[in-house]
A and B are shown apart, each in its own frame.
Chain A
Amino acid sequence: MQIYLPIAEVSVNAFMLLGLGGLVGVLSGMFGVGGGFLITPLLFFVGIPPAVAVATSTNQIVAASFSALLAHLKRKTVDIKMGVVLLVGGLIGAAIGVQVFAWLTRMGQVDLLVQLCYVVFLGTIGAMMLIESLRALGRARRAGGALPVRKQRTWIHALPFKMRFRTSGLYISVIPPVLVGLFVGLLAAIMGVGGGFFMVPAMIYLLGMPTKVVVGTSLFQIIFVTGFATLLHATTNYTVDMILAVLLILGGVVGAQVGTVIGVRMKAEQLRILLALLVLSVCGKLALDLLLMPGELYSLADRRGG
């Protein structure tokens, strides 16, 4: 069934969009990533103009994350206090990111920046997670299933403005979470992603939060940051396509619930290895696009100038 999208101004198959939303929803529920890093390139691929794809995917992330967050709130795996601290940084980061995005669009280098960001961040984080998870899995096997929990004292514990996060069982400075949040907000505005792929590992390895509350807390921050980004895109570029968003959401909300169920049944290490492999494959594909000579050297800028 073909459907004409009023803002994107293209006609696409409605069932394909539902399926696309569903697939990304499953991943969103499983890993706590918004799925923007998958949905944005997939939307380019089906012929949605890049500006509309970026703006609409932020809207879709809000919905996909909302249903997943409800599931996490019910299980009390959300550190709301930590979420708010991350959010403060996130809103500042998003506001800066929008300015950077507008400037690079004028320079014609926004695609390059987005691709480079994907390759660098996804590559580094994917590799780090894979190595760490494989090592943890190996340790768990040798130790007969018991995971050694070590609380390391690093430079992070020496920073001022300490705050107690009871749900996470942490007593750390607010500076690292605010900076993490700020960076995620920056990525959200520039790359059209929720930023979960960066925030989840940062929370685990940098802040030392327990894996159990990481997914729910990152979803909490993502909802507000992407919601803010959606409003900015709608009011400055008029590129949020409501019909496209609704189709992606309908597929996505169902997928997210399925994903949450799968996520609960799997071991944290297995989950991390899977996410690492997924992140690395997306990164590999984008790296090849940059390194190999493209079939078409010329491209047309979006006619709306976005």
Chain B
Amino acid sequence: MAMRFLTLLALALALIAGPLRAETVVAGLSQEAISITTDFDGSEILVYGAVRRDAPPPGTEPMQVIITVEGPDRSVTVRRKDRRFGIWINTDASEIDAAPTFYAVQSSAPLAEALSHTEDLRHSITIPMAIRAVGTGRIDQGQFTEALIRLNLEDDAYQLNEGAVRFREEVLFDTSVRLPANLTEGDYRARIFLTRAGEVVDVYEQMIPVRKVGLERLIYGLAHDRPLVYGILSLLIAVGAGWMASAVFRYIRG
């Protein structure tokens, strides 16, 4: 229902925008929401969609699709080590206002081809655009932002997969985005961009709620809502387990 409404909306926008917006994108996700259970070990989201045309394809430039999935923003402190008195210690730090906890970019062609710089600025599509680091007062802020991206790429928290979006039958496309096991709870946002000659022709957006469920929810909730009860319970479980194992050992040895 919501999807149909968005399609209609996109269609309406296309009509207003004139010939340039003659193409629209409709898409769906294999999962509407993600539940973090005790045996959660990452997840895969299949993104599929189609390009809708109301007129013959404009121009000869090939059509490209860029898909981004991003987790909730958090502020992050990036620290740098330097040698002081013979040992390596943290000497510099940069407070980055907001960086997504997860960010994946997948495209049907290299981003340099599929997206112009102006459009990237407008829609914040590439990884560096997703990070907001203003007013940190550092001349070498670029190095800290680069380090943040590098560390997150190594962790698979940030992903760049150029060419991972496959086209089928010219107007159908699909890709799968792998979400790592250490997901942060929150509302994730999937965006699907349709571009031609580097210009964004149409955008489709959908939210994916990521939530802890069951035992995970219960423990997390108790730890945050009743921390004292949770702390005492943790200690009781610890002491209980210790005592029980001791009793079992005594029994075994007679």
Contacts and interface: CB of A to CB of B under 8 A. Distances in A.
A4 B38 contact: yes
A298 B80 contact: yes
A231 B242 contact: no
A294 to B, nearest CB: 6
B220 to A, nearest CB: 5
Nearest to A25: B245
Interface stretch (B104-112, B118-126, B163-171, B229-237): B229-237
A253 B217 CA distance: 27
A108 B79 CA distance: 8
B241 interface: yes
A109 B81 CA distance: 11
B86 to A, nearest CB: 7
A249 B223 contact: no
Interface string A1-29: 11110110111000000000000000000
Contacts of B90: 108-109, 111-112, 299
B39 interface: yes
B76 interface: yes
B238 A4 contact: no
B144 to A, nearest CB: 7
Contacts of B151: 296, 298-300
B184 A301 contact: no
B237 to A, nearest CB: 6
Chain B CB within 10 Å, residue with most, of A65, A292, A300: A300
Contacts of A63: 238-239, 241-242
Contacts of A10: 181-182
Given A11-B181, A70-B243, A250-B241, A235 B234 contact: no
A293 interface: yes
Contact of B76 (A64, A254, A300): A300
A303 B76 contact: yes
B78 interface: yes
Nearest to A113: B89
Interface string A211-245: 00000000000000001001101110010101101
A253 B87 contact: no
B244 to A, nearest CB: 8
Contacts of B235: 59, 62, 227, 230-231
Contact of A6 (B77, B181, B219): B219
Nearest to A235: B227
Contacts of B113: none
Interface string B31-49: 0000011111110000000
Contacts of A246: 237, 241
A297 interface: yes
B245 A254 contact: yes
B183 interface: yes
Given A4-B36, A66-B243, A298-B151, A11 B231 contact: no
B80 A108 contact: no
A238 B235 CA distance: 14
Interface string A269-306: 00000000000000000000111111011111101000
B93 to A, nearest CB: 5
Contact of A294 (B37, B88, B150): B88
A238 B224 contact: yes
Contacts of A250: 241
Contacts of B238: 59-60, 62-63, 66, 230, 245, 249
B62 to A, nearest CB: 38
Given A240-B230, A301-B76, 9 more contacts: A2-B41, A4-B36, A6-B217, A11-B40, A63-B242, A67-B249, A230-B234, A234-B230, A303-B184
25 contacts: A6-B215, A7-B220, A7-B223, A9-B184, A9-B185, A62-B235, A63-B238, A63-B239, A67-B245, A70-B242, A71-B246, A234-B231, A234-B234, A235-B228, A240-B231, A249-B242, A256-B245, A289-B88, A290-B88, A290-B89, A294-B81, A297-B81, A297-B82, A298-B78, A303-B184
Which 8 pairs show the lowest CB-CB distances between chains A and B? A234-B231, A11-B181, A253-B245, A66-B242, A298-B147, A301-B77, A63-B238, A67-B242
